[in-house]
């Protein structure tokens, strides 16, 4: 059954190709059903491969399928091949599972959209790329998927809505991702230069045999960290992710929460022997990047009013948890959190999509409230997601987050402390969101308080107050504007919510801490980790303390939020600091740097082009024009400038060769 592995990415790819040719003709809803069926088939294929792998003894769970020799470059030969091992198949299982549900959900969500079939086209292409990324047996295959998911994300954000704002959001995603890709590319060629191969098998075996020197391994690991930080939205490259939420909600759920952004985590778990072979401060760097990301993003999430922006920053924060898990050597916990996060974050995003759908495209949480009465299924499932991410036992998020914090405790108390604060904030901002949206009084007929609107969005804060001023006036003129009550969504949307909610409750059972026998995920992933998983020799007392402290933090966060947002004991402005709402001005600083020094570099090039290259000494140019010489310039440059450049170039080249000459 392991031979079926090629089917896993091939089915969504086939769906993509079919939609490419027939998409428009199939139309709604056939195109959606076709894409969903392709995805479901891929999930079944994954299950079959999983069962095949399970049949094998523990230390023989590696299977390599080579489709064809992709890039035969002399002594370098790169195959288009798949690597089936516990790690890749675990990733594939939840990717195909969650993707199938999100496809199904999209059939309802995208109803009536003029680009219905195009949407599923991109979605299938994305799933195929993501599966190539995790199943590829060499870095180049991973890079292919890596670029593919990036392109799809870009297409879905900026091509979907053709407005200028989305195009610029897409551009930001593109540029930050290119920085990350550059890191990945350089890491790839450094690997090739060192071991003459790009396959993971060779990379892993040479890291373990010591063939790769510590300094080289450090270089590879740090370059991969650049790549992973770009794709997985870590400091300082996270700026693109919140903007990417401009795309349709299922896209946010699938691409920007559940799957693509975890690619960086996957990559590090895949190459864990390289990290082990690197200098021992490398894991610390990874851990600090992760924990600072977790903390900063959590503070920003506290002050967002857009229902999706909260979830976006929450995603960044949770990815930070996974990174500091890797830095602490808790690879199993990192993957565990990837899985539970995929379930509850997809659930929360789809829930928010359902809310947006039911609220007729309202995204501002200040205009919601009391929704659980109008949208019972969405409300109940969203609450499950909330409890899971907040870390309330026995929901899944508690188990994975607790395990990460335990490893952090063993690794470094400072990281554990900062991570705990981030966990507290997580419980707080998620509770804030739930209370604002599903509890309290309905507010969709109320005008927004103008003063409160000011610190709303982050990058376009200057524009926003203006439009907010207009909104209340409209409400006054048309009292019926928002009177229509929210409604529950169709079954295609609520069914995935229910399934994901079920998964978000029970997924903790994958890796329970009580006895070693219950470490199902830990045992399963063991062959892929080569003994690089850290060992925590904590006493039961310590474990209980850490876990108990996590629970206290989670409950404290919930309680605090209840005081502020349900009982209104405190003014929320105390907590929603301007620095938080503006995202610590990281984004605007970036914009300023890119628009300032970065822009100046290009301006310099432009000036150089105009002035020197084009030889446009204006006085002379007009003089020549008056004279009407045949040699005058019409478009740009003078021939003599070019001839001069050729001549000078020749002198320099000649001078070089003459330094090599003997007379």
Partner 1 sequence: MIAAGLSNLGVLAQIAEFTPLDTPEVQWAALLPLLILAGGGVVLLTVSSLVKAMAAPGVNAAATVLVGLASIIACVPVWQRVQDPERGPFTAVGGVIGIDGFSILATGLIAASVILAALLLDDYLRREDIDGVEMYALLLLSASGGVIMASANDLIVMFLGLEALSIAIYVMAAMHRRRIESQEAGFKYFIVGAFSSAFFLYGIAMVYGATGSTNLVEIATFLANNLLLRNGVLMLGMALLLVGFGFKVSAVPFQGWTPDVYQGAPTPVTAFMASAVKVAAFAGLIRVFYLALGTYSLDWKPAIYALAVLSMIIGATFAVVQTDVKRMMAYSSISHAGFVLVAVQAGTEKGVTAAIFYLTSYVFMVAGSFGVISLVGRRGDAAHSLDDYRGLSRSRPGLALAFTVFLLAQAGVPLTSGFVAKFNVIAAAVDARSFWLALIAMLASVIAAVLYLKIIVAMYLTGDDAEADDSVAGPKVSIPLPAAAAIGIAIVATLAIGVLPGYLFEVAGDAVPVLIALP
Candidates 25, 57, 59, 74; binder of partner 1 (CB under 8 A) is 74
Instruction: For the beta carbon of residue 117, count every other beta carbon within 10 angstroms.
Output: 24
3-state helix, strand, coil in the chain (%, to 5): 75, 5, 20
Q: Is 171 in the site for partner 1 (CB under 8 A)?
A: yes
Burial class (CB in 10 A: 0-12, 13-18, 19+), 70: middle
CA-to-CA separations, 341 to 328, 361, 396, 399, 567, in angstroms, rounded: 19, 26, 9, 11, 30
Site for partner 1 in 188-217 (CB under 8 A): 189, 192-193
With respect to partner 1, which residue has the nearer C-beta, 618 or 635?
Answer: 635
DSSP symbol at 371: G
Write down the least CB distance from residue 181 to partner 1, Å: 7
Burial track 339-365 (b if 16+ CB lie within 10 A, e otherwise) = bbbbbbbbbbbbbbbbbbbbbeebbbb
508 close to 394: Cβ distance less than 8 angstroms: yes
Nearer to partner 1, 163 or 445 (CB): 163
Kindly write down the DSSP assignment for every residue of 562-631, as one continuous string. IIIIIS--S-HHHHS-HHHHTGGGHHHHHHHHIIIIIHHHHHHHHHHIIIIIT---HHHHHHHHHHT-TT
In the complex with partner 1, the residue whose CB is nearer, 60 or 69, is 69
- Write each residue from 597 to 636 as x if it is in contact with partner 1 (CB under 8 A), else as -, in one continuous string: -----xx-xx-xx---x----------------x--xxxx
Q: Which of 54, 556, 573, 648 binds partner 1 (CB under 8 A)?
A: 648
Question: By CB under 8 A, is residue 657 in contact with partner 1?
Answer: yes
Binding to partner 1 by residue 151, rule CB under 8 A? yes
Span near partner 1 by CB under 8 A; candidates 266-274, 468-476, 515-523, 648-656: 648-656
Does 21 interact with partner 1 (rule: CB under 8 A)?
Answer: no
The DSSP 8-state label assigned to residue 264 in this structure reads H
Q: Is 653 in the site for partner 1 (CB under 8 A)?
A: yes
- Closest approach, Cβ 656 to partner 1, in A, equals 5
Position among 6, 33, 62, 182 found at the interface with partner 1 (CB under 8 A): 182
Cα Dmax for the chain: 95
User: Should residue 27 be labelled a site residue for partner 1 when binding is judged by CB under 8 A?
Assistant: no
Element (H, E) at 444: none
CB 176 within 8 A of CB 153: no
CA distances from 570 to 432, 442, 560, 576 (A): 13, 20, 10, 11
The binder of partner 1 chosen from 40, 52, 148, 219 (CB under 8 A): 148
* 175 scored as a contact of partner 1 (CB under 8 A): yes
Strand partners, 77: 72
**143 contributes a contact to partner 1 by CB under 8 A:** yes
Q: Does 567 bind partner 1 (CB under 8 A)?
A: no
**Residue 76 or 414: which CB sits closer to partner 1?**
76
Return the number of the residue (574 or 631) whose C-beta is nearest partner 1: 631
On the question of a cis peptide bond just before residue 657, with omega within 30 degrees of 0, the verdict is no
- Name the one range near partner 1 by CB under 8 A: 95-103, 169-177, 453-461, 462-470: 169-177
CB of 89 to partner 1, least distance (A): 23
Q: Is 594 in the site for partner 1 (CB under 8 A)?
A: no
Q: Which stretch binds partner 1 (CB under 8 A): 168-176, 280-288, 480-488, 513-521?
A: 168-176
Q: Which residues contact 316 (CB under 8 A, 6 or more apart)?
A: 233, 234, 238, 241, 242, 293, 297
Among 114, 162, 539, 597, binds partner 1 (CB under 8 A): 162
Pairing assessment for the beta strands 76-84 and 63-73 based on DSSP bridges: antiparallel
The size of the interface with partner 1 (CB under 8 A), counted in residues, is 68
**Where is 359: in which H helix or E strand?**
none
Min separation Cβ 635 and partner 1, Å: 6
Q: Give the nearest distance from C-beta 630 to partner 1 in angstroms.
A: 8
Residue nearer to partner 1 on the CB measure, 273 or 615: 615
Alpha carbon distance, N-terminus to C-terminus of the chain: 73
CB of 637 vs partner 1, minimal distance in Å: 6
Stretch that binds partner 1, among 284-292, 322-330, 345-353, 652-660 (CB under 8 A): 652-660
Strand, helix or coil for residue 76:
strand
Nearer Cβ to partner 1 (75/567): 75
Tokens for 370, please give them: 């009391």
- Given the structure tokens 């999509």, which residue do they identify? 353
Judged by CB under 8 A, which stretch of 35-43, 423-431, 542-550, 649-657 contacts partner 1? 649-657
Least CB distance from residue 649 to partner 1, whole Å?
4
Least Cβ distance, residue 158 to partner 1 (angstroms): 7
How far apart are the C-alpha atoms of 87 and 533, rounded to whole Å?
Answer: 13
Assess 73 for contact with partner 1 (CB under 8 A): yes
Which region, judged by CB under 8 A, interacts with partner 1, from 35-43, 293-301, 550-558, 644-652?
644-652
- Closest separation in Å from C-beta 495 to partner 1: 33
Could you say which residues in the range 31-70 bind partner 1, by CB under 8 A? 68-70
The single residue among 7, 179, 475, 551 that binds partner 1, judged by CB under 8 A, is: 179
Least separation, in Å, of the C-beta of 482 and partner 1? 23
| Alpha carbons 560 and 49: distance in angstroms, whole number | 46
Q: Is residue 662 within the footprint of partner 1 (CB under 8 A)?
A: yes
How far is 326 from 264, CA to CA, in rounded Å? 11
User: Which lies closer to partner 1 via its Cβ, residue 151 or residue 577?
Assistant: 151
Contact residues for 552 (Cβ-Cβ < 8 A; gap 6+): none
Cα separation, 445 vs 472, in Å, equals 10
Q: Does residue 645 bind partner 1 (CB under 8 A)?
A: yes
Which one among 470, 574, 626, 661 touches partner 1, defined by CB under 8 A?
Answer: 661
Are 143 and 131 within 8 A, CB to CB? Answer: no
Centroid of chain to Cα 170: 14
| Residue whose CB is less far from partner 1, 559 or 604 | 604
User: Would you call the peptide bond into 507 cis, given omega within 30 degrees of 0 as the criterion?
Assistant: no
Q: Closest distance between partner 1 and the C-beta of residue 594, in Å?
A: 11
Counts of helices then strands in the chain (DSSP H, E): 28, 2
CB of 115 to partner 1, least distance (A): 12
Could you count the other beta carbons within 10 Å of the beta carbon of residue 146? Answer: 29
d(CA 264, CA 338): 11
Q: Which CB sits closer to partner 1, 198 or 346?
A: 198
Could you list the beta-strand ranges (E) of 90-222.
none
Among 85, 137, 181, 364, binds partner 1 (CB under 8 A): 181
Report the residue from 1, 14, 167, 461 that binds partner 1 according to the rule CB under 8 A.
167
Q: How far apart are CA 17 and CA 26, in angstroms?
A: 13
Contact residues: partner 1, CB under 8 A = 68-76, 140, 143-144, 147-148, 151, 158-159, 161-164, 167, 170-171, 174-175, 178-179, 181-182, 185-186, 189, 192-193, 602-603, 605-606, 608-609, 613, 630, 633-637, 639, 641-643, 645-650, 652-654, 656-658, 660-663
């Amino acid at each position: 059954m392991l031979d079926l592995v090629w089917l896993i990415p091939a089915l969504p790819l086939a769906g993509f190709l079919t939609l490419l040719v027939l998409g428009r003709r199939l139309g709604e809803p056939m195109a959606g059903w076709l894409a969903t069926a392709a995805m479901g088939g891929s999930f079944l294929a994954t299950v079959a491969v999983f069962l095949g792998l399970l049949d094998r003894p523990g230390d023989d769970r590696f299977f390599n399928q080579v489709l064809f020799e992709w890039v035969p470059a002399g002594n370098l030969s790169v195959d288009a091949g798949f690597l089936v091992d516990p790690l890749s198949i675990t990733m594939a299982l939840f990717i195909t599972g969650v993707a199938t549900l999100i496809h199904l959900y999209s059939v309802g969500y995208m109803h009536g959209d003029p680009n219905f079939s195009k949407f599923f086209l991109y979605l299938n292409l994305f799933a195929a790329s993501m599966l190539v990324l995790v199943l590829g047996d060499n870095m180049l295959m991973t890079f292919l998927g890596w670029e593919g998911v990036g392109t799809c994300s870009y297409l879905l954000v900026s091509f979907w809505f053709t407005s200028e704002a989305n195009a610029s959001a897409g551009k930001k995603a593109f540029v930050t991702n290119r920085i990350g890709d550059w890191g990945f590319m350089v890491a790839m060629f450094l690997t090739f230069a060192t071991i003459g191969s790009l396959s993971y098998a060779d990379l892993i075996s040479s890291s373990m045999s010591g063939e790769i020197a510590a300094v080289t391994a450090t270089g590879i690991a740090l370059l991969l960290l650049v790549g992973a930080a770009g794709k997985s939205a870590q400091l300082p490259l996270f700026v693109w992710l919140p903007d990417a939420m401009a795309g349709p909600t299922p896209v946010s759920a699938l691409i920007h929460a559940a799957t693509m952004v975890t690619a960086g985590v996957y990559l590090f778990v895949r190459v864990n022997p390289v990290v082990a072979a690197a200098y021992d401060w490398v894991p610390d760097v990874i851990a600090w990047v992760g924990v600072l990301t977790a903390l900063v993003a959590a503070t920003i999430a506290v002050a967002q009013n857009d229902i999706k922006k909260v979830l976006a920053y929450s995603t960044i924060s949770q990815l930070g948890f996974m990174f500091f898990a890797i830095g602490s050597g808790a690879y199993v916990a990192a993957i565990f959190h990837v899985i539970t996060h995929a379930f509850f974050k997809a659930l929360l995003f789809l829930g928010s999509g359902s809310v947006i759908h039911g609220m007729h495209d309202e995204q501002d949480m200040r205009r919601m409230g009391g929704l659980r009465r109008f949208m019972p299924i969405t409300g109940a499932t969203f609450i499950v997601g909330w409890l899971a991410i907040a870390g309330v036992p026995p929901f899944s998020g508690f188990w994975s987050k607790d395990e990460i914090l335990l490893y952090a405790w063993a690794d470094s108390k400072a990281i554990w402390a900062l991570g705990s604060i981030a966990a507290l904030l997580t419980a707080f901002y998620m509770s804030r969101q739930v209370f604002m949206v599903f509890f309290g009084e309905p507010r969709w007929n109320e005008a927004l308080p103008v003063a409160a609107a000011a610190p709303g969005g982050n990058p376009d804060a200057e524009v926003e107050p203006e439009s907010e001023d207009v909104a209340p006036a409209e409400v006054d003129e048309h009292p019926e504007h928002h009177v229509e009550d929210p409604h529950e969504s169709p079954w295609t949307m609520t069914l995935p919510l229910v399934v994901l909610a079920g998964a978000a409750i029970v997924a903790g059972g994958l890796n329970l801490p009580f006895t070693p026998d219950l470490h199902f995920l830990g045992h399963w992933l063991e062959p892929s980790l080569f003994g690089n998983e850290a060992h925590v020799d904590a006493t039961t007392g310590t474990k209980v303390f850490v876990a108990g402290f996590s629970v206290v933090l989670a409950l404290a966060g919930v309680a605090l939020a209840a005081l502020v947002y349900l009982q209104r004991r405190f003014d929320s402005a105390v907590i929603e600091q301007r620095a938080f709402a503006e995202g610590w001005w990281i984004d605007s600083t970036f914009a300023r740097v890119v628009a300032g020094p970065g822009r100046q570099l290009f301006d310099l090039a432009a000036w150089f082009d105009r002035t020197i290259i084009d030889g446009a000494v204006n006085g002379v140019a007009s003089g020549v024009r008056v004279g009407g010489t045949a040699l005058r310039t019409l478009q740009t440059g003078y021939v003599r400038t070019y001839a001069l450049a050729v001549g000078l170039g020749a002198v320099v080249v000649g001078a070089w060769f003459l330094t090599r000459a003997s007379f």
